[in-house]
Chain A
């Protein structure tokens, strides 16, 4: 790995399961699936419902509102690409539509984040990549 590669953050490689999600992010939409059989939401998107194994899934756009289920302030980055960002917040977000995902809480004082805080989804652009990344900000 060259020095400049080591400083690039991992970019998601969309596949057949996730293309709608990542293309949605590029258009400013947080897409998720709901099962037509059992009615439950799921994240991440798949070829079947992980609750009931139903095959009929519909894509919906989330409102983009949720709450911090838990978080950690990272002081030691796992790879060099994130070293300049410390301290940064990794968080589990419970979305109003009934699913959980992981992201960073950005544009905030890392020490101010608490469990239960309301957040809204934003889409982060990263240097050297055309893929926008879903993130959250405190409300």
Chain B
């Protein structure tokens, strides 16, 4: 059996309001940064996987980037699956290198949604609603996720305080990251006093809109020996899909994350308890708690209490979203999920400074697209 794929390089750009940035500038900075981090040249990259851009919609985003930087990949594809895309790029890259089709695959995301689109973003996001069966009812993306949150409060006792504790913890983590979009500490009261968006979700329960980009390079397992930095092994990958529109979801409390996490952990030969740090897609505070329980990291109704008691802190029992996540680090379209993958790699390389999770050996990264519609889980291990 061939050795498992590795992540050989990572890079993320600054995030936040970057008025000088463009979709291409963020792609270039993130892509070349990751290539340099892996100790490679542009010409070493033989596979290119990109996502999509709202600000600069392209039929062939990957080709546009390759032409811009002078990259001539042997394999190129652009995947457009919303927030789950970052994980899918890594998953497809693993298949490409483990099959021998490619040796170094650049997985690249980025968008300047904040300064490039401003208020138009919310309308564009609401466009994901079904044109006949959701959009006529004024469903916003927060309202769609809010309905799952409301059901979870009703069924398993999740509370406003549980959700607020997630937001507060992640802001504290972001304060320890030099590049985070939002670093100003917040309190439980701040979350409770923030504007209601779609009940039960308040503004501080919702992810940011940021400019930013992120990239990782997935390389063949035997490339690890040539690397300038500690390689990180991709131990397992899983996906899960149950629906596209929330009214079609077979459940309001279990989603594709249940399968994706089980598949990824199974492939890695590991258990939930083996995970030292988790980096889980957090478009809303409630989403994170629901996914953690659906995936089996916590029993039903217990993740919220864990958030309140500090278990998700960097030095807690279950360090979670150590960079601050989409709620506080940054959320730039498909790059939101890639920030989680990049942070997971940095934790395993022990590069996180005051955010470092002590002795991190196994990290779990998870991306989510649509309204709990598509999920990708990735288990990473220090070599």
In the complex the two chains form, is B247's CB within 8 Å of A101's CB?
Answer: yes
Return chain B residues, CB-CB under 8 Å to A69.
Answer: 151, 252
Q: Which residue of A lies closest to B151 (CB)?
A: A70
Q: Does A115 contact B (CB under 8 A)?
A: yes
Return chain B residues, CB-CB under 8 Å to A101.
Answer: 133, 247
With A69-B252, A92-B147 as known contacts, state yes or no: A74 contacts B247, CB within 8 Å.
no
With A75-B199, A102-B246 as known contacts, state yes or no: A70 contacts B147, CB within 8 Å.
yes
Residues of A in contact with B, size category: 35 or more
In the complex the two chains form, is A104's CB within 8 Å of B199's CB?
Answer: no
With A92-B147, A115-B150 as known contacts, state yes or no: A75 contacts B138, CB within 8 Å.
no
Name the residue in B154, B195, B199 with the highest tally of chain A Cβ atoms < 10 Å from its Cβ.
Answer: B199
In the complex the two chains form, is B143's CB within 8 Å of A90's CB?
Answer: yes
Interface string of A1-41 (1 = CB under 8 A from B): 00000000111111000100010000000000000000000
Q: Does B139 contact A (CB under 8 A)?
A: yes
Return chain A residues, CB-CB under 8 Å to B273.
Answer: none
Return chain B residues, CB-CB under 8 Å to A104.
Answer: 137-138
In the complex the two chains form, is A133's CB within 8 Å of B136's CB?
Answer: yes
Return chain B residues, CB-CB under 8 Å to A11.
Answer: 136
Interface string of A64-76 (1 = CB under 8 A from B): 0000011111111
Distance of A128 from chain B, by nearest CB (Å): 13
Return chain A residues, CB-CB under 8 Å to B43.
Answer: none
In the complex the two chains form, is B150's CB within 8 Å of A78's CB?
Answer: no
Inter-chain CB contacts under 8 Å: number: 109
Q: Which residue of B lies closest to A133 (CB)?
A: B136
C-alpha gap A91/B246 in the complex (Å): 11
In the complex the two chains form, is A74's CB within 8 Å of B132's CB?
Answer: no
In the complex the two chains form, is B123's CB within 8 Å of A90's CB?
Answer: no
With A70-B148, A72-B199, A102-B246 as known contacts, state yes or no: A78 contacts B132, CB within 8 Å.
no
16 A–B contacts from the bound complex (CB under 8 Å)? A9-B136, A11-B136, A70-B148, A72-B147, A74-B142, A75-B195, A75-B196, A75-B199, A78-B140, A90-B138, A90-B139, A90-B198, A92-B147, A92-B246, A102-B137, A102-B139
Q: Taking beta carbons and an 8 Å cutoff, which residues of A are in contact with B?
A: 9-14, 18, 22, 43-44, 69-79, 81-82, 85, 88, 90-92, 100-104, 115, 133
